[in-house]
Amino acid sequence: MDNDEWMKRSNSNKNTTLIWTSRCVATEEYVKQLTLESLPEDVRQAHEDWSIYVHDMWWWVMPFINCMNINLYDMLDNWTVMNWIKIESPKWFLTACNLTIQIIFWITSMCYWWKTIPIDALSKYLKLSEDKLREKIWDNEELVQKLLYDELRAWVQTMFYQTLTLISSQDWQWVFSTWYMALLDSDPYIKYTKMIIDEILRQKIKGMPNAYWIPHSTAMPKLVMLLSPNLKDKYHDTMDLAIECISKRSMPDWVSEKKMREYHHWNVFWPMWCRSFLSDWKDENGNRKYWWRFNKGVVSINLVRCALEAKETWQDFYDILRSKAELCYKAHMFRINVLKWTKAERAALLFMYGAISRKWADDTIDDLLEGWYSTTSLGYVGIHEALLVLLGKGIETDEWHAEALKIVKTLRWYCEERNERHNYGFSLYATPAETTVYHFNTKDRERYENVNGIFDHKYYTNSFHINVRTPIDAISKLEKEAEFQKISSWWCISFVECWDLSKNLKALEDLSWYMYETSQYAEFNFRNMDVCSTCWFVWELLIKNEKRCCPQCWETDLRKLVWTKRICGYLTTNLPNKGKMEELNERVYHI
């Protein structure tokens, strides 16, 4: 494994020098082989050929679900069962926090990638704690508030620590969790929600101490926040905290309330990071529901290969695209058949005790796979390079922008067409690929000539993104990508690369409000998160030939240097593959 570049770098969050991670990666390789042997022959070939990519194959022959939105409301407000122990609704905030992390940790062993929780599910319990304190200390409100804040601070901190220190060997590293924070006026406990959100932001800004006591940015939990109009006035202090947090920790990410409502039937909900937003679904009473739901898996198309294979005309390109999409569809159907007939008791916490459903032990999960309840994602990589091949110009030119939109619309149409065939929630997914952009490029390079410079770099551009080398300002980038977000609204993400804005937080706030008007989902990337434990330098470390160095004291001991970057969505501390590393170095600043 030590010599296998692919195994070592397939995901930058896997540090394969660690014993438990190496064991997990070895197991993954074995399961991946099993999946490869079980896939339909043409799908296997296309995957091995890198014209499509079946993501997370090491889970595919087992009935694991992908990312999900945990129904924390139901689990906390009613009851759940863990390891045959019945757990009733908590009576204190501290118990609710503890139970939440236990739930996330358990679910980590039952699904792959992200578990997203809504933070407002905890608000009611903060009020319960307040009520209980008031019962005891009825004559001193100041003391009540002080004790309540002590409990809040201690338990938010505990949740942070637990998220970062409970390492699951099942998931090879941290517990992948997203905390979704929203201040909606419809929330009956909004006062308490705001208290929790503010505390989360304050602690995230402070950072977590590393082994040498230096506070630093941590990847987990990932924070995602709804950008809603009340942050402009009523809750502007929370907005200030969020902006400061973004400038220091590159999070929270923003979900625009305006765009969510516009694109999703006036609804607003959170993503199952990083496997997409959920699609529209109504229960028997016509109510839309966006939690208690999940993703089944992702397959992405190498659009550059489609362009390289197309000999002359657009028609050739679209014919090839359709045939690749058909292969993805076949892979998806394979996946759905693996999940079918799974009995609820095989993952009781998920399917019997509230995280996804409340079924009987012998019930199957088949009904959850159908009718848009869960999504099945069709991803795409490399529109920019595909256009370079076909037209000689990239996505950033107005002239060819329209062609790129046409490609994304066609892919969306394929999804809709499939849902008419089999209603399994096929949805379009702007892949935030990490390894795939490098491997697609490497494999195409082995067999094709360098057309219009597509192989001048070791990576392809993700989904509909404007390539990272294009000098473009943040506003224009958000504006151009927004058109694609509208079509690819089941998953889309726009990045803005920022230089130091710590002295100009107003600019960051203005840009956030511009994003509110244009984009469903956006992230701001800052380079200031590296830390040297020897001289307390905080900014960006020097990287050369995979070696790190502090530019201030020239420390090179890896244990003392924390390197933290956003590679393609979440933060990571391990260096990524060669292609993605090159991409990172070539990114231009947008503000």
Q: What is the dihedral of CA 496, 500, 503, 509, to 10 degrees?
A: 10
Least CB distance to Zn ion at residue 215 (A): 15
Tokens describing residue 539: 């900014």
| Sequence-ordered list of residues with C-beta below 8 angstroms from that of 286, at least 6 positions apart, any chain | none
- Among the listed residues 189, 214, 217, 191, the one whose alpha carbon sits nearest the alpha carbon of residue 203: 217
Least CB distance to Zn ion at residue 546 (A): 19
- Under the criterion CB under 5 A, does residue 385 sit at the interface with Zn ion? no
Query: What's the 3-state SS for 560-577?
Result: HEECCEECCCCEECCCCC
Instruction: Single out the residue of 306, 550, 571, 581 in contact with Zn ion (rule: CB under 5 A).
Output: 550
Between 477 and 527, CB nearer to Zn ion: 527
Least CB distance to Zn ion at residue 502 (A): 20
Least CB distance to Zn ion at residue 550 (A): 3
Between 364 and 556, CB nearer to Zn ion: 556
- Among the listed residues 424, 458, 466, 419, the one whose alpha carbon sits nearest the alpha carbon of residue 439: 458
Tell me the CA end-to-end span of the chain in Å, nearest whole number. Answer: 41
Least CB distance to Zn ion at residue 587 (A): 24
- Under the criterion CB under 5 A, does residue 552 sit at the interface with Zn ion? yes
CB-CB contact of 423 with 372 (8 Å): yes
Between 203 and 552, CB nearer to Zn ion: 552
Tokens describing residue 518: 């244009």
The helix/strand/coil state of 392 is: coil
Least CB distance to Zn ion at residue 562 (A): 11
Least CB distance to Zn ion at residue 547 (A): 14
Q: How far apart are CA 214 and CA 182, in angstroms?
A: 30
Least CB distance to Zn ion at residue 531 (A): 9
Q: How far apart are CA 588 and CA 520, in angstroms?
A: 23
Between 156 and 561, CB nearer to Zn ion: 561
Between 89 and 534, CB nearer to Zn ion: 534
Instruction: Single out the residue of 130, 257, 523, 555 in contact with Zn ion (rule: CB under 5 A).
Output: 555
- Candidate ranges 16-24, 62-70, 518-526, 550-558; the one touching Zn ion (CB under 5 A): 550-558
Between 198 and 530, CB nearer to Zn ion: 530
Between 63 and 551, CB nearer to Zn ion: 551
**Burial class of residue 341 in the structure, from the number of CB atoms within 10 Å of its CB (0-12 exposed, 13-18 middle, 19+ buried):** exposed
Between 210 and 452, CB nearer to Zn ion: 210
Between 96 and 532, CB nearer to Zn ion: 532
Least CB distance to Zn ion at residue 29 (A): 37
Instruction: Single out the residue of 26, 143, 361, 553 in contact with Zn ion (rule: CB under 5 A).
Output: 553
Q: What angle do CA 280, 271, 429 make, to 5 degrees?
A: 75
- Candidate ranges 88-96, 335-343, 368-376, 548-556; the one touching Zn ion (CB under 5 A): 548-556
- Among the listed residues 486, 485, 503, the one whose alpha carbon sits nearest the alpha carbon of residue 494: 485
Q: How far apart are CA 419 and CA 567, in angstroms?
A: 32
Between 98 and 534, CB nearer to Zn ion: 534
Site for Zn ion in 487-546 (CB under 5 A): 532, 534-535, 537
Between 397 and 552, CB nearer to Zn ion: 552
Number of amino acids touching Zn ion (CB under 5 A): 8
CB-CB contact of 479 with 518 (8 Å): yes
Max intra-chain CA distance, the chain: 83
Reply yes or no: is the peptide bond before residue 274 cis, omega within 30 of 0: yes
The helix/strand/coil state of 108 is: helix
CB-CB contact of 375 with 295 (8 Å): yes
Least CB distance to Zn ion at residue 319 (A): 56
Least CB distance to Zn ion at residue 549 (A): 9
Phi, psi of 100 (to 5 degrees): -60, -45
Q: How far apart are CA 465 and CA 386, in angstroms?
A: 12
Least CB distance to Zn ion at residue 554 (A): 7
Least CB distance to Zn ion at residue 214 (A): 10
- Under the criterion CB under 5 A, does residue 459 sit at the interface with Zn ion? no
Between 380 and 537, CB nearer to Zn ion: 537
Q: How far apart are CA 547 and CA 383, in angstroms?
A: 32
Residue type, 69: N
Q: How far apart are CA 136 and CA 6, in angstroms?
A: 60
Tokens describing residue 245: 């947090």
- Candidate ranges 143-151, 310-318, 505-513, 555-563; the one touching Zn ion (CB under 5 A): 555-563
Between 219 and 562, CB nearer to Zn ion: 562
Q: How far apart are CA 346 and CA 292, in angstroms?
A: 17
Report the 10 Å Cβ neighbour count for 352.
21
**Burial class of residue 287 in the structure, from the number of CB atoms within 10 Å of its CB (0-12 exposed, 13-18 middle, 19+ buried):** exposed
Residues that bind Zn ion (CB under 5 A): 532, 534-535, 537, 550, 552-553, 555
